[in-house]
Structure 1
């Protein structure tokens, strides 16, 4: 299955970009008071992208050698993924107040940015490691 690594990684990366783009669009629309981000077709699209993203991630984890994850960067990325999902859910929730929604949105995007830096650097400190190194 290693021969499919480049294609699987490309699907994973494109889904990451699609997922955060759709979240950003939905979050900004919710901040602006729009109702369409909570419509079922938009939510289904989000779930479809995220399911494909998770499937590609699991396939990558299955085919890569275990030594690649010895420095725990993947563990940090997965912990921040859970935090990102919780923050994103709070941002898009109908029960969130208009006053706090932008804070949840910014926090979720900051979490995504850190996850991205961890994934790119393959280091648990992410961008902070590259700034200090």
Structure 2
């Protein structure tokens, strides 16, 4: 069961990241696709499933925040990614949108580093 949930989690993570990047492209190109109802709803469904699979993995592997520093740091970066992602789409000025987008992508790389490397801090 663990490998299936792990693969589901990694697949949902990639779909979530690619979806964010596609929506950012639509934002920067001022595409009307960004305002379609499925584009507004689908990320919430994917991210909810991603969160549920992450919590399931955490319980199965007993790798809890506050016990393992890398898990705690990963959660901090995930919260930062969410905040920067929201700010990307809420910002009015193009330069702020770009800044928040780059910060969001930077936190994605930090999360991936922690997820694949599981470094000890």
Quick check: 2:26–2:34 contact (8 Å CA) kept in 1? yes
Matched, 1:116 2:112: yes
The two structures have a TM-score, normalised by structure 2, of: 0.90
**Between Structure 1 and Structure 2, whose CA radius of gyration is higher?**
1
State the alpha-carbon separation in 1 of the partners of residues 120 and 37 from structure 2: 36
Quick check: 1:118–1:124 contact (8 Å CA) kept in 2? no
> Structure 2, unaligned stretches of length 5 or more?
none
Quick check: 1:90–1:96 contact (8 Å CA) kept in 2? no
Residue 95 of structure 2 corresponds to 99
The two structures have a TM-score, normalised by structure 1, of: 0.82
Quick check: 1:74–1:124 contact (8 Å CA) kept in 2? no
Q: How large is the RMSD of aligned CA atoms in angstroms?
A: 2.0
Deviation of 1:35 (Å)? 3.3
Matched, 1:5 2:25: no
Residue 21 of structure 1 corresponds to 18
Matched, 1:48 2:24: no
Pairing 1:62-77 to 2, within 5 Å after superposition: 62-66=59-63, 70-77=67-74
Deviations 1:9-34 (Å, cap 9, x if unpaired)?
00000000000000000011101222
Runs of 4+ in 1 over 2 A off after TM superposition: none
Deviations 1:57-82 (Å, cap 9, x if unpaired)?
01111111348x84411000000100
> Structure 1, unaligned stretches of length 5 or more?
126-133
State the alpha-carbon separation in 2 of the partners of residues 10 and 92 from structure 1: 29
In structure 2, relative to structure 1, the CA distance for the partners of 1:66 and 1:45 (3 Å cut) is closer
